[in-house]
Structures are given as structure tokens and as C-alpha cells.
Chain A
Amino acid sequence: MFAKPSLIAASLALGLSTLVPTAAEAHRRWLLPSSTVMAGEEETITVDAAASNGLFIFEHRPLGLDDLSVTGPDGQIVEPVVIGSGAYRSVFDVKLAQQGTYRIAIASEGMMGSYDLDGERRRWRGSREDMASGIPEGATNVSVSENAARTETFVTLGAPNETALSPTNVGLEMIPVTHPNDLIAGETARMRFLVDGAPAAGLEIEFVAGGTRYRDEPGIRTLTTDAEGMVTLDAAQPGLYYLEASAGRGEYEDGPDRRLSYTAVLEFMPL
């Protein structure tokens, strides 16, 4: 069995209606690809999926792969080969048979809530469509929130293309303006953040270099998106970087509370 996403676990533990979700409650969630820039007729990458505090260290627990989805260079779904799940990480392979860019994501969305019925507090989980039928008539004190979490990374065989990078327009997501497999240390990279397809202005982004085990400072840089949802990433050193953002509490639309989170692993190459 795969563990449940930590954001859901955290919100269950802390109560449903009052929580302002922040990154502090959750471990970092990441997909670590064996390579991001490749050549040849076809290639296979292997990817580790884990949640941890240290980057990129297998120290906490594996990520579940139920919501794993790989989008190929033509926008079609590519079936990954799931190897399995150990104490600290899940592992899967992705065969790259087409030239271009692949988006590898664990994206989940769902609603959960609680209500009073017959003098008892009860919990409910399901999809937005199931809400009407899932919460019985006569329920009082209904509290419902929605979660949308996306964890992703990008790899390219041959020349990069943009098809797989199109927005899904669901939840919080990053749309690379600078191609995510054309990132060079010392050059600025621009990324746009969207909430349900609209620019996420004033969003706080956490940007951290890997290798936390070998330094004393956490090395977290906090960046804020501009009015267009745009942020500029600046990696002085080549390496793997982790990026995280979260939003919630109906900041971006009316209706039930929403907890949106996004994390990504990006590789900045030396030139």
C-alpha cells in the first residue's frame, strides 16, 4: 500500500475548517528523475518518488503512485512501469520512445469534510460530483474542503517541445516560460503560476537547492509571483532544485475552502 499524501494526512490531523495550509506542516514531496536531458532514438529513465525534509534524501516515506501520470511529447499519456515501493521511496521507469518533452506528475484532487448526524461527528471523502450524494440529508454543521496537489518533474529526449507543458487548468500549477529542460546555472529562468488557469498573483514560492545534507543553512529562497503569476528563478550553482508553492482558503475563488499545493524538481545544468 502506498501512503496517503501528506497534505491530506496533515489536514486530517489538524482539523478541517480552520486550517490555513502552509508548507511547514508537510514534508517535501518530490519526483527525482535519473536524467533530464537525453539523446538517441529512445531512452529509459528511472524516477524516485519520496516525501522528506532533506533534499533529495530518502528519509521519511515513499510517495503513493496511484495518481501518477506521464504526459508525452504529443500530449498523450505514457504508461510508466512501476517497480514498487520501499520504506522510503517508490520507484518507476518511464520509457521515452518519442522525441520531445515529458511531464511526469503525481496530481490528485478530492474533497473531504465532516458533518453532524444523529449527534455524531462523521467524516466524508470523495469527489466534487459525489458531494451531494455523499453527505446525507439531515446532516448539520457541514464543513467541506477541497484539495488539489501536484508534484512533478520534466525530462526531454532530443529537442525540447512544449506540448506536454500545456496547463491542465486544475488547481495550482507551474507553466514554464523558460523550458524546464533548458535551465542553465547562472541564467535566469521564468515560470508562470496558475490557479485553475488564471495567473496566481502574489503567490509565495519556496526555491531550494538539493544537497541539504552537506550544508548548514536550509538555503530556502522565498520568491513572490508578480501580477501575471510570473516568477524568476536564479540558480547560481548547477544541480537539482526543489520548488514548492501552496495556496488555499478560498483565496482564488468562492465556494468551499481549497488547499492547493504544487511542488517540482528542476535541474539546472552547467554550461
Chain B
Amino acid sequence: MRIIARISLPLTAVAVAAPVSAGDLQVQFEIPRLRVAEYHNPYVAVWLEDANGKAVANLDVWYDTDLRGDDPRKWLPDMRTWWRRIGRSSTMPANGISGPTQPPGRYSLRFSEGSRPLPRLAAGSYVLKVEAAREVGGRELVSIPFQWPPAKPMTGTKLGSKELGAVRLSIKP
């Protein structure tokens, strides 16, 4: 099930107010508001890689599904890392994974292990990847490493510098 919640509370407050349930993986991130002459919502991809850099779960992909005149998938390779690791071998649109782009704001995605699109993960080291690419704009990739399964609820936060704001991963055994 694809659930995108646009949230207005500060990230820390959300983490307290809506803790993840068992087996859940929650990704929160911000698309910053940019003062530029021509703004298009960014393409965003969220996925997991194992310790070898192999993609193990394609969690979420936002792209311009209403693009007029062109194949909407044309610009997917602009999310370069995602495209190479999993995008080019995936079929888009993908039920429960892909959706339209979103305006600046804070977003929260929640995934349950064993329920599409998050498969059961073998114990080990993983990396959460969030990549954003914007038409006439830049590209940014944020990585948050984690161990699965976690012994106790864990959170990790990284700050994007341009195309992404704070990215926060919350996991719970």
C-alpha cells in the first residue's frame, strides 16, 4: 500500500507523536521551497540498498505522470543513481510504488516489512537512499546507513543541501 502523508509538524514532534509500529520503516523528508525563476516539482526516488550497493527494495518514485507530449518516463534517468541501481530494470508506472511529483513540503512514507514494496530483509547492513532531481534544477542524493533488524527503535537523520531538506529514517524491530 502506498501511503504518502504530507505533514506539517516538525520532524521531531512527528517522531514522538507517531512512532513506527513493529516491523515498520518510516522515511520522512523535506522538499525545500526554492526561490528560482522556473520551478518544477522534483522527481524523487526512495529505495534500499544492501551492503554491496545492490538495490533490494524500490520503495517510492515520484515523476511527472501527466507530462504532455513526451513519454513521462523520459526524464527518469536524471535520478542517476536510482536509474542505474534499480530504475532501468523496473517497469514504470509501478502499482504501489510510483506516483506524481509533489510540491515543496514535508512528507512521510511508511512501509511494513513483508508487505509490498518492502520485502522481508535478511539481517545485515543496508542503506536508505533518497534521490531528487529537478527540471532546470539540480540533483541530490542522501544516504542513511542502518542495520536490520534493529535491536531497538532507531532513527537516523541527514540533511540535504540543495534539492532535499532533512531526511529521517525511523526503524523499529
Contact = CB atoms under 8 A, between A and B. Distances in A.
Contacts of B77: 37-39
Contact of A40 (B74, B80, B81): B74
A158 B71 contact: no
B94 to A, nearest CB: 13
A209 B77 CA distance: 23
B88 A160 contact: yes
B72 to A, nearest CB: 8
7 contacts: A38-B74, A38-B77, A39-B71, A39-B73, A39-B75, A39-B87, A40-B74
Contacts of B76: 39-40
Nearest to A269: B80
Nearest to A42: B71
B74 A271 contact: no
Contact of B73 (A37, A41, A269): A41
Given A40-B73, A41-B73, A43-B74, A158 B81 contact: no
B80 A270 contact: yes
Interface of A: 37-43, 158-160, 182, 184, 269-271
A103 to B, nearest CB: 18
- Bin the interface of chain B by size: 10 to 19
B12 to A, nearest CB: 32
Contacts of A43: 71, 74
Contacts of A160: 88
B8 interface: no
Contacts of A182: 84
Contacts of A270: 80
A41 B81 contact: no
Nearest to A157: B88
B39 interface: no
Interface string B86-127: 011100000000000000000000000000000000000000
A1 B95 CA distance: 53
A158 B89 CA distance: 7
A158 B75 CA distance: 12
Contacts of B75: 39
A38 to B, nearest CB: 7
A95 to B, nearest CB: 13
Given A269-B80, A271-B80, A271-B81, A40 B71 contact: yes
A101 B72 CA distance: 21
The 4 tightest CB contacts between A and B, nearest first, are A40-B71, A40-B73, A39-B76, A159-B88
A60 B71 CA distance: 37
A159 B81 CA distance: 14
A37 B76 CA distance: 10
B89 A37 contact: no
Nearest to A156: B88
Given A37-B83, A41-B71, A269-B84, 10 more contacts: A37-B77, A39-B73, A39-B76, A39-B77, A40-B72, A40-B73, A42-B71, A43-B71, A271-B80, A271-B81
A233 to B, nearest CB: 17
